[in-house]
Structure 1
Amino acid sequence: MRLAEGIVIDKDKTFGTLKFSALRREVRVNNEDGTVSDEIKERTYDLKSRGQGQMIQVSIPAAIPLKEYDYNAEVELFNPVANTVATATFRGADVDWYLKAEDIVLKKKQSIISHSQNQPSQMKEK
């Protein structure tokens, strides 16, 4: 089975609350001769996932500016996709999962608006 577009994820059910931790690594483009260039291909970030109960790594394209959010800032993923890489071994294959997203953004806090009546009750004395 081949999933050309990866596995689309229900963010809330899969990850729960996500909190920013740090930049893990930058993946660079290789030159034609196999040496590493200065061009960044993608960045991988560590995020704490309440739904997974552990740290997860998510890669986003280098075209997206570097994320330097506060530690433990609540974030969300834009269009996350899971995929796999298989490596042939003597006994079959080892499979590694990886996560990619189009972006990691700060989660917008929902503001609670209270509608209190600012009309004082008027009592007339007789």
Structure 2
Amino acid sequence: MRLAEGIVIEKEETFGKLKFSALRREVRIQNEDGTASNDIKERTYDLKSTGQGRMIQVSIPASVPLKEFEYNSEVELMNPIADTVANATYQGADVDWYIKADDIKLKEKVQILKKEPTNGK
């Protein structure tokens, strides 16, 4: 079972501040015989979420270049979506949640410029 379009996420309310931790894994495309190819399908990154109070994993398409930000750099997700995969069991179903996004980017820092007082000139 899958949600048709996933659940669109309100980034700030859901995640709070996100800080980059590391690349967790690369998912490779399978060959016809079931073995892993050298082609990468997606990359999953660990991000610290103040809103969730824990580490979250976010998958990004392999078409996006590898992210190698400094540890604890503040980042933001581009178009994040939460989705599920459910597998039937003898006692019901096991449901796994996952988060995907179009990209992870460094959060731009807003600079507040102080206006210097003029001495009447």
TM-score range, shorter chain: over 0.9
Query: CA RMSD of the aligned region, Å?
Result: 1.4
Q: Which has the higher contact order (CA 8 A, sep 6+)?
A: 2
Match of 2:88 in 1: 88
Residue 120 (1) aligns with residue 100 (2): no
Q: 1:73 corresponds to which letter in structure 2?
A: S
Please show how residues 1-126 of structure 1 align to structure 2 within 5 Å: 3-117=3-117, 119-121=118-120
| Larger-gyration structure (1/2) | 1
Unaligned regions of 5+ residues in structure 2, if any?
none
Distance 1:24 1:2 in 2: 24
Unaligned regions of 5+ residues in structure 1, if any?
none
Q: How many residues align?
A: 121
* 1:57-112 CA distance string (max 9 Å, x none): 00000000000000000000000000001011110100000000000000000010
Q: Which moved more, 1:108-117 or 1:40-49?
A: 108-117
Secondary structure of 1:14's partner? helix
Displacement of 1:31 after TM fit? Answer: 0.5
* 1:23-79 CA distance string (max 9 Å, x none): 000000000111110000000000000000000000000000000000000000000
8 Å Cα contact 2:2/2:86 also seen in 1? no
Displacement of 1:3 after TM fit? Answer: 2.7
Normalised TM-score (structure 2):
0.96
